[in-house]
Amino acid sequence: VDCDPQGNLSKSFEVEASGLYDGLTGGEAIVHHINNRLALLPGNLSLTLLEKRLLGEIDAYERLRDLLDIEEFSVYDFILLDTPPSLGILTINALGAADHVVIPMSPSLYSMQGTNDLMASVAKVRGRDSILHFNLLGVIINAYDSVPVITREIREEIRENFAEKLFTYHLSRSIRVEEVIIRGEGLAQQKGREYAKAREEILAITKELLNRIEASYVLG
């Protein structure tokens, strides 16, 4: 589900459509079937109108949760909600619909501050309202470059802030990742030797993600 008005996720699958906006505003949420294992509920610029459109509606922040509750969406093993970076109506809708939250972060001071601000706002919304019930699975470092000392320092700072919430595995910065994004493909499906490192990293992250989800149910 592409909850970002920029629609980059949808564009990477060459889909330009307003399925999410339509679904959130009482219309039909048309899902695009990418392949036999993946479907996309696309987002586009129309999502910028949502805030105005839902102004004053008492369920404005619960629309996505209610939408994903319908039977059509019960066939999926996992529903991934890709959110915009700020805490607007779309992000609150996504957090309200989510069982788990993952924060991808590249090791820059800028994104660290952004995430701290976001977590502070989330804490406020959570305290004020009871629509958020998610479990924070953790922080995944993306585009990691081990050469500059500063990125290693920032990584340590992320660890200090998030402790065991920091994933053990990360994704390194690599031109291979960009190539795969441009082709609209997945890293895990890449066969070539040149993709071996990125593929192994993404598989390790995925396993850790699944383990953390499972552990959250076992531990409660």
Enumerate binding residues for ligand ATP (CB under 6 A).
4, 6, 8, 142-143, 171, 173-174, 177-178, 181
Radius of gyration of the chain (CA): 18
Six-digit token string for 212: 């953390």
* Least Å from the CB of residue 85 to ligand ATP: 6
* Least Å from the CB of residue 177 to ligand ATP: 4
* Least Å from the CB of residue 65 to ligand ATP: 22
Measured CA to CA, the distance from residue 107 to residue 157 in angstroms comes to 10
Measured CA to CA, the distance from residue 14 to residue 99 in angstroms comes to 28
Cross-strand pairs, 82: 2
CB nearer to ligand ATP: give 58 or 182: 182
* Least Å from the CB of residue 181 to ligand ATP: 5
CB nearer to ligand ATP: give 59 or 178: 178
Six-digit token string for 54: 């839902």
| Residue among 123, 124, 155, 153 at smallest CA distance from 141 | 155
CB nearer to ligand ATP: give 69 or 178: 178
* Least Å from the CB of residue 12 to ligand ATP: 8
Q: Are 13 and 19 contacting, i.e. CB atoms less than 8 angstroms apart?
A: no
CB nearer to ligand ATP: give 46 or 142: 142
Measured CA to CA, the distance from residue 50 to residue 27 in angstroms comes to 13
Six-digit token string for 204: 């390790």
* Least Å from the CB of residue 6 to ligand ATP: 5
User: Phi, psi (5° rounding) for residue 161?
Assistant: -70, -40
CB nearer to ligand ATP: give 131 or 186: 186
What is the four-CA torsion angle of 192, 197, 199, 204, rounded to 10 degrees?
A: 160
